[in-house]
Amino acid sequence: MASTDFKRTVEDFVCEHCGKSVSGNGYTNHCPQCLWSKHVDVFPGDRAEMCGGAMKPVSFLKNGQKYVLLQQCQSCGHERSNKFLEGVDSFDTLLSLVDRKGEGF
């Protein structure tokens, strides 16, 4: 049985969507350029999810002064939210989600 506790896993990776080399810090779970990730966790950091599908950024929410990125797995449909890191993640890419969906927050 997988643990619900966060497991910090420091990993560098090459984004499978845009090809950017990403230096992980143990909390990195998506590409800062295109905002895509990979469906590998059941609980954050556990690497216990067998799906492995591409997690597409589909929308975002604003929570106070912070943004929350919403992603959907293109293989199984699973949805999850992730912190958007201002100054690290691409704000232009985040805003393009509004253009694609024609909706705001």
- Write the DSSP string, 76-95: T--EEEEE--TTTS-HHHHH
> How many structural domains is the chain composed of?
1
Query: CA 51 to CA 59: how far, in whole Å?
Result: 21
Task: Give the pLDDT score at 39.
Answer: 95
Task: Give the pLDDT score at 105.
Answer: 37
Tell me, yes or no, whether 3 lies in a domain.
no
Tell me, yes or no, whether 67 lies in a domain.
yes
Q: Which domain holds residue 91?
A: 13-101
Tell me, yes or no, whether 2 lies in a domain.
no
Contacts of 32 (CB under 8 A, 6+ apart): 20, 22, 85, 88, 89, 90
- State pLDDT tens for residues 75-98: 999 999 999 999 999 999 999 987
Bigger pLDDT: 16 vs 3: 16
Tell me, yes or no, whether 6 lies in a domain.
no
Query: CA 20 to CA 68: how far, in whole Å?
Result: 22
Tell me, yes or no, whether 5 lies in a domain.
no
Report if pTM > 0.85.
no
